[in-house]
Amino acid sequence: MLRDRSGRVRIIRETTTYAGLVDAAFHQIRQAGAGHPAVVIHLIEAIARIAEHTRDAEQAGALARHARMVAAAGLRNAEEAGDHRDIQRSLARAEKVIAGRAAESMAA
């Protein structure tokens, strides 16, 4: 809520959250790319790179949720065992980065 100098509410607006931004950034790509293992792997890797810059556990959690959703969609659609292994490896690397950043932010 935005208030004037006397304290009266003048504007009510929705604020964007980090999780909302992450949802907007990744939902459609995940949905469109779920059947393409290379897209899935690159998207998980992009999430891991973004996670290197997280500032708190909430941000890390939002990215972890998306990494898991992307991996699950990719695993459901991938037919080759090698694709499954590559997706799982990418997810494991991303989760390691995310967990490390979450731990660092809690220690700070």
* Structure confidence at residue 24 (pLDDT): 94
Report how far residue 55's alpha carbon sits from residue 39's, in angstroms, rounded to the nearest whole number: 26
pLDDT tens by residue, 22-50: 999 999 999 999 999 999 999 999 999 99
pLDDT tops 90 at residue 101: no
Judge whether residue 13 has pLDDT over 90: no
Q: Which residues pair with 11 in a beta bridge?
A: 2
3-state secondary structure of 1: coil
On the question of pLDDT at 102 being above 80, the answer is no
d(CA 34, CA 11): 40
Q: What is the per-residue pLDDT for 14? A: 82
Mean pLDDT for 56-78 is: 96
Q: What is the DSSP string of 4-66?
A: -TTS-EEE--PPPPHHHHHHHHHHHHHHHHTT-HHHHHHHHHHHHHHHTT--SHHHHHHHHHH
**Token pair belonging to 102:** 């979450």
